[in-house]
Amino acid sequence: MNKITVNSNKKNWQAVYVSSRTEKKISEMLINKGIEAYVPLVKTMRQWSDRKKMVELPLLNGYVFVNITSIENDKVMQTKGVVNFVRSEGKIAVIREIEIDRLKQLVALGYHLEANGINREYKEGDKVKITSGVLKGIEGYVVDAGENKQIEVLLESIGQCIRVKLPSELLISL
């Protein structure tokens, strides 16, 4: 009799929904359990009535990414604050490694780049590809046709978009 086995040792990136404003804490708890977890954080200036402060906030509110095997699902779900796995068509959504790499690249660069020089003409809705730098090869859509182009990068696996401002000389039309 042949027995079909599923490779439960293969790790895949998955996203979990977490309680609001707990992304960093839950990520820490998962790491303490031996689970590879990632929360894309961006620095932003916050102002209170008496002061301004640079703080790190999650880029995608309510999400933590985990790189786990299927046998580690329960370990993740038993973590306080984890609500559920992100699902697509009823199954736990698997996120491609390249999408996590893109997220890491976007976070490493930050949102805003200043540019002087050639200003190619793009209009909202144009599909473009980044031609150089660490984001080379990433495709997206122009959502702002102002001086610095803002492109949206879609993370297909979880249906989220991220906006990044880029100088037009780094873009080509597709």
Which of 10-19, 51-60, 86-95 is predicted most confidently? 10-19
* pTM for this model (two decimals): 0.68
Domain chopping of the chain, boundaries: 12-95, 96-174
| Cα within 13 Å of Cα(26), Cβ side | 28
Please state which CATH class domain 96-174 belongs to. Answer: mainly beta
Q: Produce one character per residue of 125-142: b if its CB has 16 or more CB atoms within 10 Å, e if not.
A: ebebbbeeeebeebebbb
Residue 65 — very low, low, confident or very high, per pLDDT cuts 50/70/90?
very high
Angle among Cα 118, 134, 153 to the nearest 5 degrees reads: 80
Q: What percent of the chain has pLDDT over 70?
A: 75
CA-wise closest residue to 62 among 98, 91, 26, 93? 26
**Beta-carbon count within 10 A of 36 CB:** 14
Asked if 12-95 and 96-174 have one fold, the answer is no
- Pairing mode, if any, of strands 41-47 and 52-58? antiparallel
The CATH H-level (homologous superfamily) assignment of domain 12-95 is NusG, N-terminal domain (3.30.70.940)
